[in-house]
Structure 1
Amino acid sequence: MKTILAYGDSLTWGSDAATGGRHGFDDRWPNVLAAALGGKARVFADGLRGRTTAYDEFLADCDRNGARTLPTSLYMHAPVDLIILMLGANDMKPHIAGTAVAAMQGMRRLISIAKNHNSGLVDETRPDILIVAPPPLCETADPEFAAMFAGGIPESRMLASLYADLADEQGVGFFDASSVAETTPIDGVHMDAANTRAIGKALVPVATVMLGL
């Protein structure tokens, strides 16, 4: 059985803007993907709210720097056949990075870590890598989120193009989540259950091809 690591932020964790809680287990996109793949692959979801690609978040009480915690996750779930990296939305916060180019540079760092990671297992092979551009931010009437991501909407719309070019440069897979999903205006950042399910469904054929299932 193949192993997939879904490494992301609150969009992977399953934040529900409508309730302020978490989407049900069966609605979160990594679990939708796992269910559709059946017994062909297991999917480990490592989603941390507020996680960035490679930048520190000094307001947090946990380590949200994705580049710093990725090696631990790879060790924990080894051997990994496919790693899905869906990060970048939190990089849009002006106090963290604030630009799509910065997110792309952080994603490049994550790819480098994944390519060069060695868990010390016998006959270990490097995982295939799929980068997913999250759906762009949208307008919201929520004053806190609007301020937290000030200027982030136009920058977030650039992520898909930058990530696609990065994927070509690095020889990894790419998927644009905005082709099947969108964020909710409730907070402008997260997705409702239908949209997070849509990402899981859309990734099924991509993962199937990349893993040779």
Structure 2
Amino acid sequence: MSDVKTILAFGDSLTYGADVETGGRHRFEDRWPSVLEAGLEGSARVIAEGLGGRTTMFDDHGAAADRNGARILPTLLGSHYPLDLVVILLGTNDLKPHVCGTALGAGSGIERLAEIARTYPYGRGAAAPQVLIVSPPLFGQTVGGDWQPSGGRSIAESQKLAPRYRAAAEYCGCAFFDAAGVAVASPVDGVHLDAANTRAIGQALVPVVRQLLAER
């Protein structure tokens, strides 16, 4: 039996690797799930499931894809189990005013996703995976210094995400990491990341994930 671990990276455009400067996508090797897998040096494979606009548990019908994370996560768990770890990096889209707009709501959504990951009926003796909740980088001012982040999102509300997510992780018995400590949003739109900052998240997660996998 292989001892290579399996990790699901569940997120939005930050996990997808959206490149706000080109309107395209960062190179595969620059996306944080790819960087994380490379840093784990063959001890784990990372399945990247990132979708632009995805929320924790809220509907947003502004695109053809289903953006409600709580509705799609069970399908992905069923597709990819057995899993050793689920890394959840969501919340930037919850803070869109027309979706939810508050860190309080995003935190409730994160708790729901952790619950789904921990209680899904994996079957065949498969144990539930560990869960790592990652709070996204803070929103920032856009080019010019006086424009708010895209979608009318609040910088002040984004600053409340890390404390709310930390509390959610403690409540759910999950691990926590604050990506705002290692990455900053691009001034192009105040939300998305350039290649260097998305790589920084993957690099910073390597020791965190190594420790979690060692404890499993």
Q: TM-score, normalised by structure 2?
A: 0.94
C-alpha RMSD of matched pairs (Å): 1.5
Corresponding position of 1:76: 79
Equivalent position amino acid for 1:27 in 2: D
Q: CA offsets per residue over residues 145-192 of structure 1, 9 Å max, x none?
A: 947532521101110011011111111000000111010110111000
User: What is the aligned residue count?
Assistant: 210
User: Which residue, 74, 99, 109 being the options, matches 1:96?
Assistant: 99
Matched residues in 2 for 1:129 and 1:30: separation? 15
Matched residues in 1 for 2:194 and 2:153: separation? 23
Matched residues in 2 for 1:28 and 1:147: separation? 22
Matched residues in 1 for 2:71 and 2:47: separation? 18
Matched residues in 1 for 2:122 and 2:170: separation? 26
Corresponding position of 1:131: 133
Taking a change above 3 Å as real, the CA distance of residues 43 and 138 of structure 1, as seen in their structure-2 partners, is: same
Answer yes or no: is 1:116 the counterpart of 2:119. yes
Deviates more, 1:132-141 or 1:26-35: 132-141
Corresponding position of 2:67: 64
Answer yes or no: is 1:190 the counterpart of 2:158. no
Larger proportion of helix: 1
Structure 2: stretches of 5+ with no match in the other structure: none
Answer yes or no: is 1:19 the counterpart of 2:29. no
Taking a change above 3 Å as real, the CA distance of residues 147 and 27 of structure 1, as seen in their structure-2 partners, is: closer
Q: Secondary structure at the match of 1:212?
A: helix
Whether the aligned pair in 2 keeps the contact of 1:94 and 1:148 (CA below 8 Å) is: no
Corresponding position of 1:212: 214
Deviates more, 1:133-142 or 1:164-173: 133-142
Structure 1: stretches of 5+ with no match in the other structure: none
Q: Secondary structure at the match of 1:106?
A: helix
Matched residues in 2 for 1:161 and 1:177: separation? 12
Deviates more, 1:177-186 or 1:111-120: 111-120
Matched residues in 1 for 2:86 and 2:200: separation? 19
User: Which residue, 40, 57, 69 being the options, matches 1:54?
Assistant: 57
Q: CA offsets per residue over residues 78-124 of structure 1, 9 Å max, x none?
A: 1110000000000010000000101001111101101101232x220
Superposition deviation, residue 141 in structure 1: 4.3
Equivalent position amino acid for 1:79 in 2: P
Corresponding position of 2:177: 175
